[in-house]
Structure 1
């Protein structure tokens, strides 16, 4: 079984602070008054537009229609590729991971991996294999396959891989072939300005690959022979390397996906998500 990683999001986390600070809502009943100032009317007209964007963009289903819900999330993934700027929702492709530090693993990975401006590409082309959206049960579960995906970043390495020394800094690109992901979110509902919303509080992310291909520029200060030999070692032994550190990569990726999801749900109340 592939490694799993659990990550807990506290309600005091800045993630939720940023969501609630910018959440738009419509109180009920909604009335526009001629004697109100323009900023008041602009605020609530923007709230209406926000919900119209969600309603016009995404397919709605009954909560009990599992087949429709699966089709709806499949339809939504490409639409989330560039994010939804009007809702403040970040892009799915690329999924911005920011700066990362991946600690040493066990026997195979004896190096701390430092990355800057990390991005993950390919999720918007995912095939949805299974999807569960159970508000009453407090769960969202997504099983997907990304045929080809890419991890790009600036990197810095200095340590050992498979007891061999490795050192370098520059640009890197990892190609993930046949990524099979299984991510489960624990969710809760909360009321904000008379509207019920959803947020994720915990996730478990499991990912299995068919193949992983490493490409790192400027290993060993650009020594071509050493670089070629090291890349050959990495690509021939990708599986034990991957297994030792995938939990840490999954933690960062899962947190970014949770942020995307929570920012969407903070703008769109439950009443606008379903037909019933």
Structure 2
């Protein structure tokens, strides 16, 4: 089993405007007894993702495009990547452009399942690394861009019911994702702190020529980190909106 450690600190400047909130009018409600329930779930998840691009004053949420991630640390892999990737002042672009292909809810197990495709997911910020990738030294600090193209994402979200002021809510205690990009592009500027620009360009070329091997080695770290980010966002919505305002149960 791949042993990837990661540390993630998310400070997204989002504040609750009130203790409870109603979903915006463009967020639909799904009837649990409707034969098209799964399609309703799929559609509503997609609408929610797209709508939150500009945030929601009703939910007290700031815009999600881009999403700020002050610090992100992806631990080294066990093969090609022998370096800890330390990212700071990062922004995640493209999340709200995701297309949801399927969705379902198991109320007994309190689990939501979804499948999505994100055409272009970009993580941009500042890196700080000192190690090796593909036996090449990777040292430096500077701007970075990791772009995932046409990424298929499977979401498994486990909830836990609780009551607040007589209403039932869900708190998500686990959010697992799998990331399967069609292509990944890497760009690390100022490698070797600018002392050898040509070598820096060559290393970037090697990373992109071998993107599958490089990304596969550290994918568990990215999956764990993205899962934590998504869990945080989901909880910010579900902690404000009661289940009866999301689903029809009668």
**TMscore range, shorter length:** 0.7 to 0.9
Give the corresponding residue for 2:202.
Answer: 229
Give the corresponding residue for 1:246.
Answer: 219
Give the corresponding residue for 1:63.
Answer: 32
CA distance in 2, matches of 1:139, 1:24: 25
How many positions carry a matched residue from both structures?
238
> Kindly tell me: are residues 113 and 55 of structure 1, through their superposed partners in 2, closer, same or farther at Cα, counting changes over 3 Å?
closer
Give the corresponding residue for 2:152.
Answer: 180
Q: Check conservation: 1:180, 1:208, Cα contact below 8 A.
A: yes
CA distance in 1, matches of 2:45, 2:85: 34
- Where in structure 2 are there 5+ consecutive unaligned residues? none
Q: Secondary structure at the match of 2:247?
A: coil
Give the corresponding residue for 2:245.
Answer: 272
- Where in structure 1 are there 5+ consecutive unaligned residues? 8-14, 26-49
Cα offset, 1:67, TM superposition: 1.4
Q: Secondary structure at the match of 1:117?
A: strand
Cα offset, 1:95, TM superposition: 2.9
Correspondence for 2:140 among 168, 182, 186: 168
Cα offset, 1:119, TM superposition: 2.1
Correspondence for 2:127 among 146, 155, 161: 155
Give the corresponding residue for 1:31.
Answer: none
> Kindly tell me: are residues 4 and 92 of structure 1, through their superposed partners in 2, closer, same or farther at Cα, counting changes over 3 Å?
farther
Q: Check conservation: 1:135, 1:187, Cα contact below 8 A.
A: no
Residue 82 in 1 paired to residue 54 in 2? yes
Where does structure 1 differ by over 6 angstroms across 4 or more consecutive aligned residues?
none
Which structure has the highest helix share of the two? 1
> Kindly tell me: are residues 157 and 4 of structure 1, through their superposed partners in 2, closer, same or farther at Cα, counting changes over 3 Å?
closer
Which structure has the highest strand share of the two? 2
Give the corresponding residue for 2:175.
Answer: 203
If you compute each CA radius of gyration, which structure gives the higher value, 1 or 2?
1
Q: Secondary structure at the match of 1:148?
A: strand
Output one character per residue of 1:125-182: Cα deviation in whole Å (capped at 9) or x when no partner: 1111111123233101111001111011110111111111111111111111110000
TM-score, with length taken from structure 1 = 0.79
CA distance in 1, matches of 2:163, 2:62: 23
